[in-house]
Chains A and B, each alone.
Chain A
Amino acid sequence: MKHDILDLAQCFFYTAADFGKEDAMPEIIAIHSFRGGTGKTNTTANLACLLARKGRRVGVVDTDIQSPGIHVLFNLDPKDAPHTLNDFLWGKCDIGRAVYDVSRILGAEDKEKLFLIPSSIRTGDIARVLHYGYDINLLKEGYQKAIEQFALDYLFIDTHPGLNEETLMSIAVADTLLILLRPDQQDYQGTAVTVEVSRQLEVPRMFLIVNKVPTAFPGDALAAKVTAAYNCDVAGVLPHADEMMALGSSGLFCLMHPNTALGRAMEDILRRITA
């Protein structure tokens, strides 16, 4: 009798615990832009890093197979990364072997907070994937497995610009899509196409982020304009920062200059997209 009650209590306890977990479903966040150089890679790395610092377990995938780069920001030497996303896509290895703990960037003592799945920088590997392509189901399975194996709360996908087949896949697997644009006439048209195509792909949540905005530009007014033009929510307006340019992707802006307009704007974006 006594045991029954204990079992019942335990049962209740577990159910309650599972309930709590429900709203913390792992989320895949893709960052994309129509044109190159909008700041996708730097924004991805910084948002991931900020979330990891808040205690979430965060993964980052470099799907910019043509021109990989985010490993540089996380200080991961390709020599120390024998397995890559490319190997997984050809069935040469399990996804788990291509996941690297890069938490050291947050602090010497940090472990198991921030993970990276890099892309190969070897030209042969690059050409091969581009030539044969890969299947979206395989990609999705890989992400799912990585999320489970490393108990990730968030998986960020850094993409190649434009609307080729690979980036369409990254958009299709995302729960949340962040589309970057600059306040630049050259970005407007392509962004409009990207937004519409993503809608057609039925992405559950989509936000625009305006990057490299002249400092002291009134952000709210700009955001209102962009929202109206694209009929899409703006997650935030990121000012241009000389410090970011000066870093030249050699480190993470959010760690070095947290109390700047750009640092605070990044925090605001996280608050909006994780709300």
Chain B
Amino acid sequence: MNPGAKKILLAGLAFAVVYGLLNSLSNIFLLPSAPIISMRPQIALPMVVGILVHPLAGFITGFAGNMFGDAVYGFGALKFWNWHIANGLMGWIPGLVGYGGIRRIGTVREFGILQMSLVGASAAGVAAAVVLDVFFIHLLTFPYSFPSWILPAFLTDAVNAFILVPVILLLARRIRLTLETRTILMITGLLLVSILATAGAITWAVLDDLVSHSAMVENFYIAAVVSVLLLVAGFIAAIVFVRKVTDPLADLAQAAQAVEQGNYDLPGLAGVSARADELGRLARIFEQMAGKVREREKTLQRQVDELKIIIDRKKQAQDVSEIVETEYFLALKEKARKFRET
């Protein structure tokens, strides 16, 4: 897939309009802890455009969309230009994953790269906005802005992208459902549900006046940081676990392929067959089976070696001469010779 410049531009701008409208809409639903940074599920849009169309289309959607949204909402199109760039980067970076060769996600490794690119894009975008602010815009004040703006901006974008982008890619059939992806999707889903439940419980507590707003904000920070740590740790643990199961499967598949091609020495299976678990048992049975096939092949080879084509040469000569010395045969031979010459 390599869309032309025109298609990239058109797709980027078309989705930018959608993104801008969603942005100005969602400014209404503010995160309890961050009065300005809003709950932004739509951040998935520039990322998905970057992945499915082209990294540059993702950039255009993020950049132009944020500008358009600010204008519609009344911030002014150019006031927070550093955030336009931040959004552009968030659309551009995940697209590089697909551009770098991962067209369809089928393994835990590819899924991990995708999810890390989403988190990385959120981090890079926010970092760029902050740096530009420090040098040119001077709106942020340190250290106050860090917990009130920067961290929430990063967290909301990262968590939203982490949940929504895989869901959209799944619907767009960009994630192949293999054993690996199914498992990692399930574990990631469970992690996210528990994190969202925590966040939900805290929000609910404050809405019901069970705790004061300031206590809630404090709780929310602790919960958010713990959640992200949990997410990263859980995600890495999940990757390790899934690979522990699927790597031996890959070894087994390779061994099966070797047997299919008539190669019965399977050194690549030694690691798996040494395992004490179910996969180790499967590998040992497989090795036994390959040994049996090798035995059978040897027997067949021996049978062919022993096969004797016994021809009685004397009788053969006799039978041949009985035929070729007849008048009929001699005449036939002569005729055949004639029409072969013509």
Chain A positions near chain B (C-beta within 8 angstroms): 136-137, 140, 163, 165, 168-169, 172-173, 183, 185, 188-189, 192-193, 196-197, 200-202, 204, 214, 216-218, 221-222, 225-226, 229
Contact = CB atoms under 8 A, between A and B. Distances in A.
A226 B333 contact: no
Nearest to B310: A188
14 contacts: A136-B335, A163-B323, A183-B307, A185-B310, A188-B309, A188-B310, A189-B312, A189-B316, A200-B320, A202-B336, A216-B297, A217-B304, A218-B300, A225-B307
Contacts of A185: 310
B315 interface: yes
B329 interface: yes
B340 interface: yes
B296 interface: yes
A168 B327 CA distance: 13
B295 to A, nearest CB: 12
Given A137-B339, A188-B311, A229-B309, A172 B301 contact: no
B303 interface: yes
B335 A172 contact: yes
Given A137-B339, A165-B328, A188-B310, A218 B301 contact: yes
Among B305, B309, B333, residue most surrounded by chain A Cβ atoms (within 10 Å) = B309
Given A196-B320, A218-B300, A168 B332 contact: yes
Interface of B: 296-297, 300-301, 303-305, 307, 309-312, 315-316, 319-320, 323-324, 328-329, 332-333, 335-337, 339-340
B329 to A, nearest CB: 7
Contacts of A214: 300
Given A136-B335, A168-B329, A188-B309, A222 B316 contact: no
A33 to B, nearest CB: 15
Nearest 6 pairs between A and B by C-beta? A172-B336, A229-B309, A193-B319, A196-B320, A221-B304, A192-B311
Contacts of B336: 136, 172-173, 201-202
Nearest to B324: A200
Given A201-B332, A202-B337, A204-B340, A226 B309 contact: yes
A173 B333 CA distance: 10
Among B296, B301, B305, B323, residue most surrounded by chain A Cβ atoms (within 10 Å) = B323
A2 B301 CA distance: 72
Contacts of A221: 301, 304-305
A197 B335 contact: no
Contacts of A165: 328
B300 A217 contact: yes
Nearest to A213: B304
A192 B316 contact: yes
B335 A137 contact: yes
A136 B335 CA distance: 8
A149 B312 CA distance: 46
A204 B337 CA distance: 11
Among A192, A197, A202, residue most surrounded by chain B Cβ atoms (within 10 Å) = A192
B303 A217 contact: yes
B289 to A, nearest CB: 15
B328 to A, nearest CB: 6
B332 A172 contact: yes
Nearest to B338: A137
A222 B302 CA distance: 11
A67 to B, nearest CB: 22
A222 B315 contact: no
Contacts of A216: 296-297, 300
Nearest to A181: B309
A76 B116 CA distance: 67
Contacts of B303: 217
A163 B304 CA distance: 29
A226 B311 CA distance: 11
